């Protein structure tokens, strides 16, 4: 959890049903924000929203497939209707597929690129007309935009490099409107998709300065800071939350 003050802020967290997204939604709510979780995982998303609401915070769920144009608009409209506005957009939805470039299935390429780049772009495009001065867009990228620790990650790394570039472009474009845009790049974080045990995890720990995986709350705390008033002069930045993976 964190101590940043977000009372009165209204936030949409895509991919917020579990993992980093769920921790982020919980941290934002803990700091006082009203939160809408958007995800294709309805049962898990509703459970996360219900758990947040039981703490006394305002939280809801809306089905959101970031590859579906109708879902983008509906998710933004539902967020505004139920929360009373929109101040913070956290683009957390992302997928991965690991395979050598010459064996990478075309359908997986379309899925990874469509969600990791297209989904983020279209969600932002749907949201920006509702964002005013002081709003925050926070993208969740990956340290693989800067460092690729092994083979089979070329396509995934490409999409996260695009997230970094999109963030910088949007920061320049939306700066005159008083909207900040930043990119949080997690390194090895303990999640269901990337557990901190096993051969792969042990190999990564060898190149992390702290010698361990991070926790979802480590990422959520940085997002909470970037969502608040203290970060008003921070935009276009890539924030590595990687335990020293890149040093």
pLDDT tens column, 131-177: 999 999 999 999 999 999 889 999 999 999 999 999 999 999 999 99
228 C-beta neighbours (distance < 10 Å), count: 21
| Cα 150 to Cα 152: distance, rounded to the nearest angstrom | 7
| Regions of the chain short of the pLDDT cut 50 | 1-2
List residues with catalytic annotation.
156
Q: Which CATH architecture has domain 10-188+215-241?
A: 3-Layer(aba) Sandwich (3.40)
* Sequence ranges of the domains in the chain: 10-188+215-241
- pLDDT at residue 114 in the model: 97
pTM of the predicted structure, to 2 decimals: 0.95
- pLDDT at residue 69 in the model: 87
Tokens describing residue 93: 């939805």
| Cα 176 to Cα 65: distance, rounded to the nearest angstrom | 30
Per-residue pLDDT tens digits for 195-209: 999 988 999 999 999
């Amino acid at each position: 959890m964190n101590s940043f003050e977000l009372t009165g802020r209204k936030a949409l967290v895509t991919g917020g049903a579990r993992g980093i997204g769920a921790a982020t939604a919980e941290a934002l709510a803990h700091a006082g924000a009203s939160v809408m979780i958007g995800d294709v995982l309805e049962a898990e998303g509703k459970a996360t929203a219900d758990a947040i609401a039981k703490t006394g915070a305002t939280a809801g769920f809306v089905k959101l497939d970031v590859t579906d144009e109708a879902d983008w608009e509906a998710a933004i409209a539902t967020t505004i209707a139920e929360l009373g506005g929109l101040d913070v957009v956290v683009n957390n939805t992302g997928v991965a597929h690991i395979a050598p470039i010459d064996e990478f299935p075309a359908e997986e390429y379309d899925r990874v690129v469509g969600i990791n780049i297209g989904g983020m772009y279209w969600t932002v495009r749907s949201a920006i007309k509702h964002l005013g001065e002081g709003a925050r867009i926070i993208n969740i990228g990956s340290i693989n935009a800067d460092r690729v620790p092994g083979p089979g990650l070329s396509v995934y790394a490409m999409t996260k490099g695009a997230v970094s570039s999109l963030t910088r472009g949007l920061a320049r474009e939306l700066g005159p409107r008083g909207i900040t845009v930043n990119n949080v790049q997690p390194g090895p974080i303990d999640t269901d998709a990337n557990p901190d045990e096993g051969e792969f995890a042990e190999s990564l720990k060898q190149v992390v300065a702290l010698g361990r995986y991070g926790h979802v709350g480590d990422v959520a705390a940085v997002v909470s800071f970037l969502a608040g008033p203290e970060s008003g002069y921070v935009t276009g930045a890539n924030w590595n939350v990687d335990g020293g993976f890149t040093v």
